[in-house]
Amino acid sequence: MITMSDVTFKYRKKQIFSGFNLSIEKGKVCGLLGKNGAGKSTLLYLLTGLLLPQKGTVKFKEQDVSKRNPSTLGDIFIVPEEFDLPNVSLKKYVEINCPFYPNFSKEQLNKNLDHFEMNTDINLKELSHGQKKKVFMSFALATNTSLLIMDEPTNGLDIPSKSQFRKFIASGMSDDKMILISTHQVQDVDKLLEHIIVLDDNKVLLNSAVSSICNKLKFIESFDEEIIKKAIYVNPSLLGFNLILPNDDEEETSLNLESLFNATLAQTDKIKLLLSN
């Protein structure tokens, strides 16, 4: 669905990408992880055509995003980390904006709002930051675009709303869509993600399905010294240590996304080797 080929992009004095390549298939809830300044938000804006590469191509469904064709833009939606909404009712906002998205569903919008215990009879300017985020994400999912991008979507949400967010994202997925979530709040989305991408220093350190990762790596918590010695990554926890080990015995364990991210940065070559075998 997405292909970035030999992409170069820089701001006036800062190089972000040089000869950058990335491909992502459809039908995934994909997590984009990286340290501050790794280029995550820039990558998202390149994917949507809000930024244009100085060199290389960004393609979505084989179409060059930089040409900003209406058919392409109508099939992509982004929820940025920071945004503002106009001083109008939600009904008016929908009336103005839904024609840009051919697959928009008002029925879906109502269902999405129900997930957050909200309705369409509201004025956007009267909402709190968290409420605005809920409404905007509800609208985003109702556009039914093939590509939905969210930058730090759980920032500003309380604990019950984060749980509701996971449920409503899962309910909106299908095999012909992709949801790309960029976040530092890994514990908010780790059970939701099906594919992981880790960026660092203009490179893709990891681009793999969660199922493949969990087939090759084992995530456990232990204070057993013999097990710790075998680990490729060790991090202290309240109950001992979070460990990542080669999954030689094909044990089924749950992904620890925070450990995976830290291990990928610290032990890049080891992680790549284990996942490639």
Residue length of the chain: 277
The strand order across the sheet containing 240-246 reads 217-222, 240-246, 233-237
Position 143 scores a pLDDT of 95
Whole-number Å distance between alpha carbons of 80 and 44: 9
Summarised one tens digit per residue, pLDDT across range 96-133 is 999 999 999 999 999 889 888 888 889 998 998 888 98
pLDDT tens, per residue, the chain with 277 residues: 899 999 999 998 889 999 999 998 887 899 999 988 888 999 999 999 999 999 999 999 999 999 999 999 999 999 998 888 999 999 999 999 999 999 999 999 998 898 888 888 899 989 988 889 899 999 999 999 999 999 998 888 888 888 888 887 877 677 788 999 998 888 888 888 999 999 998 889 999 999 999 999 999 998 888 999 999 999 888 778 999 999 998 898 999 999 999 999 999 999 998 998 7
Q: What ranges do the domains of the chain cover? A: 2-201, 210-276
CATH assignment of 2-201, given 3.40.50.720, 1.10.150.130, 1.50.10.10, 3.40.50.300? 3.40.50.300
